[in-house]
Amino acid sequence: MRRAIFPLTCTVALVVGVLAQTAVTVPKPEEKAKEERIVAKEQEKRAQKTSVIDFSGEKTFSEKELRSQLKEQITVIDEFGLTAARADDLAFFLEVIYRKHGYVKVRVKYVIEPGERLRLEIDEGSLMTLGTVTFDGNVTEPKEKLFEFAAGPTRERYSKLQKNLPFVSADIQEGADLVHRFYIAEGFLDATVDPPSYTYHDETNQVDAVIPIHEGRQYFFGNVSFTGNAIYDAETLRGQIVDLLKRPYTDARLADIPRRLQAYYKARGYYDVKIDASGEPAIALDGRVPVQIVVAAGPVYHFGDVTVSGLDRLRPSFVAKRFSSLSGKAYSPDVLDEKFRALMRTGLFSILQIKPTPVDGDLLRLDITAEEAKSKEFGISIGYGTYDGGIFGLQFRDRDLFGYGRPLTTSIEVSQRGYKGEILYEDPFFLDTDFSFKSRVGALTYDFDGYSKFELGGRLELSRKITKQYETSLFFSVRHVEVTSASIDPIFLGRTSYFVNSLGFSQTLDLRDSPLVSPRGFVFNQTLDLALNAFGSDIELVRGTIRASYYLPFAPKALTPGMVEDRNGTPLQHWFQQSSLAFGARMGAVHSLTTSGAGEVMAIPIDERFFNGGSATVRSFGERELGPHDSKGNPIGGEFFTVFNAEYTFPIFGELQGALFADAGNLLPNAEDPGLDDMRYALGVGLRYRLPIGPIRLDYGFNPDRHAGEDFGAFDFSFGFAF
């Protein structure tokens, strides 16, 4: 169950000021009084000359919108007074606003009236839209691809669904420059793109543009030779840059060759490697540019001592111990980067710099300079969830408990369905190892549809990242659950007061590029936990879940982000947003190990069962509404569930995205008979607003196979990815 919660964090800092005495020149009393009189008279004059600015003739934009766009120029007039020059500037920028939206024939006149009053008379003219764009001289590149670059600067401000774009000459000129850079990025080093010419059609209010192109020859990488102390053979080194050599020749790709090869050498301990690559397009044969690479590998370096400076509250040994395992090992920037990222993830540092310094021949001393982040943080969260209703939370966190870098977090959350309090203690480097440890205790009350519960318990978790992508965890949880009230028939409740203590294992393989924003790649997660009397549990059960998801951003090949670069390798398609496809599958089962005196398997308590339906499962059902119900319509859960999701998202405007999705899933009462029986479905549409910590989602799922008494569909408002 996911909910939309918007964090508002307030941080209190103690600032200590140091006063320093300096020599100053003290003006004489009469001089100071004279200066004060001059300043007072100037302020009085400005107050008497407050300007009034009136607009007339505006139709497309409101006066409020225009004032907002012109606030800088209006502020200058308010502070320094109205003059003809400042009025002319204001009229000029007002015309720029209109031209930026396709009103190329706009005219703005200004009239300065008595009493510091300025009247701006606007003649908007007609909105001119972009007609055809003709590329004169393109031979190798299709016009459809070139049009995306030419219209890109204008498209950035409008939805991709808008067909008729306004004509903005400055945008077309910028687009022509992007076309030129695209040709350069494709190896047309001699290409030129002339300034666009325009044909105005007043009868249709359209403007056609012609962009002259002189492509010239396309260059590619030719023979690549290696000289100097290369250590490795030419074939091995060429393999590190083979993808670059297959692409057209550009200065940016030539400059990328040393960076690629230096990374290869440094990963093998050659810290001081120097590489230079040069190409000669002037002597290219059939467009093939020969490249010469000079390598000076130097010695293999090893990690040595560690120095730490800049810390105030945090003990320096906390940082130094993170690198102690590297002593004597060959230098590796990847290993160093892993250590750096692990430290930054703790949130203890605002700045952390690691500088390897050669000492004693082939040793590298790690000089670490740190600036600590504020360790104490107080947060307020306010949100809303379709099922929970309004949500309010408070949190206090100390990231550096007693200077040992171990966080302690206390939190309280109140929603329209219940209350929750929790204390969490973490040790990111348990016993100075690569394991992380978490210990939490908490209590909650919650009102589900059909019953309410009180829960008190805790959980210990020990986890370790085996690789960057693979993590395993071992956990032990202790919980006391009390069903405090219920309208569900007792036969469906199971035990209503019990302890459940379980030992569990989980593993996660996460190959996504960015789990929070526009993820790309595959993620797999599996959990298994076992509750036995030997652990002090009143009930015995085994429970397992599996989840797999795949995220695929995609676009036409020509529009891949970063494909178009300038000569320095900087991506130029900043306006582009990708569409994406996502697929997900989940399954879970729980089975009771408790039997009655007659040998029958005892029912699993309702709060230990699975539920289905809602914002993160099958979205045509309300939260927990898919699956078995009692005679009063209350959901009673099940022992086996499946969920399958597919979702297509596409950009609308800015950070706003649209979504089309299809879900399927089931919830069966008995885990001894699992399968895909009684599958239920959802077809729906949604909106997404992207935030750095994940999207806010609004979905509507339609139920294409309604049963008697079921709703037509369901709305869901939530936060985070659905799967």
pLDDT (average), residues 142-170: 88
- pLDDT over threshold 50, residue 209: yes
Band of the pLDDT at 47, cuts 50, 70, 90? very low
Asked if residue 206 and residue 113 are part of one domain, the reply reads no
Look at residues 702, 697, 691, 703 and name the one whose alpha carbon lies nearest to residue 716: 697
What per-residue confidence (pLDDT) applies to 571? 45
Asked if residue 626 and residue 703 are part of one domain, the reply reads yes
Residue 436 included in any domain: no
Least confidently predicted of 33-37, 120-124, 321-325, 372-376: 33-37
pLDDT tens digits for 550-594?
999 875 443 444 444 444 444 444 434 578 999 999 999 999 998
**CB contact at 8 A, 252 and 569:** yes
pLDDT tens digits for 64-87?
999 999 999 999 998 888 999 999
pLDDT (average), residues 120-133: 94
pLDDT tens digits for 196-207?
999 999 999 999
What per-residue confidence (pLDDT) applies to 573? 42
Asked if residue 551 and residue 531 are part of one domain, the reply reads yes
- b/e per residue 680-696 (b: at least 16 CB within 10 A): bbbbbebbbebeeebbb
Look at residues 192, 191, 190, 197 and name the one whose alpha carbon lies nearest to residue 172: 197
Asked if residue 138 and residue 117 are part of one domain, the reply reads no
pLDDT (average), residues 600-620: 93
What per-residue confidence (pLDDT) applies to 653? 87
CB atoms within 10 A of CB 39: 10
CB atoms within 10 A of CB 148: 20
Residue 587 included in any domain: yes
Asked if residue 355 and residue 328 are part of one domain, the reply reads yes
- Residue showing tokens 């800049």: 310
Asked if residue 65 and residue 133 are part of one domain, the reply reads no
Asked if residue 224 and residue 82 are part of one domain, the reply reads no
What per-residue confidence (pLDDT) applies to 685? 98
Provide, rounded to the nearest whole percent, the portion of the chain with pLDDT above 70. Answer: 89
Residue 584: phi and psi, rounded to 5, are -145, 150
Residue 321 included in any domain: yes
Band of the pLDDT at 232, cuts 50, 70, 90? very high
pLDDT tens digits for 614-670?
999 999 999 999 999 999 999 999 999 999 999 999 999 888 999 999 999 999 999
Residue 438 included in any domain: no
Residue 490 included in any domain: no
User: Among 101, 123, 145, where does a domain finish?
Assistant: 123
Residue 173 belongs to domain spanning: 129-214
pLDDT tens digits for 369-383?
999 999 999 999 999
pLDDT (average), residues 266-288: 95
What per-residue confidence (pLDDT) applies to 51? 66
For the chain, what is the domain count? 5
Asked if residue 134 and residue 77 are part of one domain, the reply reads no
Asked if residue 161 and residue 81 are part of one domain, the reply reads no
- pLDDT over threshold 90, residue 289: yes
User: Among 214, 247, 265, where does a domain finish?
Assistant: 214
User: Among 324, 340, 372, where does a domain finish?
Assistant: 372
Asked if residue 577 and residue 713 are part of one domain, the reply reads yes
Asked if residue 599 and residue 539 are part of one domain, the reply reads yes
What per-residue confidence (pLDDT) applies to 32? 64
Residue 702 included in any domain: yes
pLDDT (average), residues 609-613: 98
Q: List, as own/partner pairs, every contact residues 415-419 make where C-beta atoms lie below 8 angstroms and the sequence separation is at least 24, other chains included.
A: 415/385, 415/388, 415/389, 415/390, 415/391, 416/388, 416/389, 416/390, 417/387, 417/388, 417/389, 417/446, 417/447, 417/448, 418/444, 418/445, 418/446, 418/447, 419/444, 419/445
Q: What is the CATH number of the domain that holds 74?
A: 3.10.20.310
pLDDT (average), residues 100-128: 93
Residue 150 included in any domain: yes
What per-residue confidence (pLDDT) applies to 561? 40
In the structure encoding, which two tokens stand for residue 475, read together? 């956990």
Q: List, as own/partner pairs, every contact residues 519-523 make where C-beta atoms lie below 8 angstroms and the sequence separation is at least 24, other chains included.
A: 519/551, 519/721, 520/551, 520/552, 520/553, 520/580, 521/550, 521/551, 522/548, 522/549, 522/550, 522/551, 523/547, 523/548, 523/549, 523/550
Asked if residue 273 and residue 174 are part of one domain, the reply reads no
CA distances from 132 to 166, 169, 214, 353, 558 (A): 12, 14, 20, 53, 20
What per-residue confidence (pLDDT) applies to 598? 59
Residue 204 included in any domain: yes
> Cα(643)–Cα(664) distance, rounded to whole angstroms?
6
pLDDT tens digits for 335-356?
999 999 999 999 999 999 999 9
What per-residue confidence (pLDDT) applies to 600? 66
Band of the pLDDT at 480, cuts 50, 70, 90? very high
Q: What's the whole-model pTM score? A: 0.70
Band of the pLDDT at 31, cuts 50, 70, 90? low
